[in-house]
Amino acid sequence: MSRDTLPTDLPPNAGRAATGIAIVLVAQLMLVLDATVVNVALPRIDADLGFGPASLSWILNAYTLAFGGLLLLGGRLGDVFGRLKVFEAGLAVFTLGSALGGLAQSPGQLVAARTLQGVGAALAAPGVLALLTTSAPDEAARNRAFALFGAVSSGGASIGLLLGGLLTDVGSWRWTLFINVPIGIAVLLLAPRYVDETQRRPGRFDVVGAVTATFGAVSLVWALIGTPEHGWTSARTLGGFAVGVALLALLARTEVRHPHPMIQPRLVRNRTRVAALAAMALLIGANLSMFFLVVQYVQGVLGFGPLTAGAAFLPFSLGIFAMSRVTPQLLGRFGARTMVLTGSAALAGGYTWLSTIGTTDSYFAAVFGPMVIAGLATGLVFMPITATVLGGVEPEHAGAASGLLQTTQQLGSAVGVAAIVSVYASGAVPGQIVPGLQAAFLTSAAFAAAAVVVAAVALPARAPRPVQIVDEELEAVAAEAA
């Protein structure tokens, strides 16, 4: 190609903008994959630190609870102080938590470090889309940035499983946390040079809402995880549930009265939107539990190493990717209700199939088929649920609706994992893995079946039309959920 044919209409700051977008996307990938990167290392962590079957789930839940509970507050802090400043603060906290987690010598230290990671992620994540928007020099660049955001978010879970397996296999489970430290430091050093700050919008903070949402969910999860050891009617369990319900009731009261509520009350007064959020919480809780349970089976029964265990989830990830290519067309043709009903029923069938696993089964006989079904079904349901949640929302409330959806995903996964892993621990036989897994997979199937009921009763045949300004964000949020 001659010099005369080279494009000459690139903005003068195109190189800086492209670098800024790349830096923000690297941070987004780090935040997304951290939800799954430790999954395949769980058996090694348990052997090193001695967690136990039920409490092992706190390694996952400490991150997701802090992330989900503080996500909306993180978005509000970005509005007031600037997205870049809060993004940098969150990334610094996340990087510190990663370093402390890699150095942890006890279960309590590791759970505390994972909580710190979640706090950092809650501060950093809400600003990613805004920073991509401000970094892009024109509309075409912005659309490409959103597309890359969707690819990074949807691929993060799979990359996390494979990377976690590789690091654990060739080194130690500690490197699944240490790997974030040099990346986080590099992003912190480069971001101020290549990423522009956003406009500030001063206002008050809903601190009570953030605290009650986080600790209400923590209390419920704490009560659920303790049931195998203490029983459903123990003072510890009943007290935990009572505190959780009381805090969530205080949250509801606060949001109605606060001038700048963390959760817009009008968004949760819509029956269809609440049903879609409930279906999302049920399905993502079942899916994240499947990640935990399958890791136990393929490593504890089939004898897979960490890297092979990570690769075992590829059918699930590829199923999501394949289905996500056609879901926009299917949504326009069949509507959200039909897609959610079909996908949820398929997930219930896949998890019921997984409940039949035994000690003499092979991967392809017992796991491969259900994983393909689960991946295709997940890809089928998350886009219509996202469209239903964001549909009919005025442009000024689109960000709040998106944040509510992401918060539901995080807290739904934490509560779902806690409930299903408690069933796993209750049915476990010392020295055996399969008995507890069978009951747990049936519980996952029950979660998916409950989503079928919710969709049948409360979702309309056609989802409300999504607001135009978040078309790209709609696809990105759906990809991140998957």
Write the pLDDT tens digit of every residue in 366-402. 999 999 999 999 989 988 888 888 777 776 566 677 7
CB-neighbour burial class of residue 2 (10 A; exposed 0-12, middle 13-18, buried 19+)? exposed
Spans of the chain, pLDDT less than 50: 1-8, 10, 466-482
3-state secondary structure of 259: coil
Supply 126's token pair: 């809400």
Angle, nearest 10°, between helix axes 369-390 and 314-324? 40
Q: Which residue has the tokens 């019921």?
A: 352
Return the pLDDT at 250: 92
Q: Tell me: the pLDDT tens digits for 9-41? A: 545 556 777 888 888 888 888 888 887 788 888
C-alpha 184/C-alpha 34 separation (Å) is 12
Q: 85 phi and psi, to 5 degrees?
A: -60, -45
Structure tokens at 172: 């130690």
d(CA 66, CA 64): 6
User: How many helices (H) does the chain have, and how many strands (E)?
Assistant: 21, 0
The distance in angstroms from the start CA to the end CA of the chain is 41
Structure tokens at 335: 């509507």
Per-residue confidence (pLDDT) for residue 200, from 0 to 100: 72
State residue 395's pLDDT score. 62
Do the Cβ atoms of 181 and 57 come closer than 8 Å?
Answer: no
Lookup: tokens for 70: 């503080």
Indicate the burial class of 235 (C-beta count within 10 angstroms; 0-12, 13-18, 19 or more): exposed
Looking at residue 365, the DSSP 8-state letter turns out to be: I
Kindly state the greatest CA–CA separation across the chain: 79
For tokens 């970094």, name the residue.
135
How many residues can be counted in the chain? 482
pLDDT of residue 455: 93
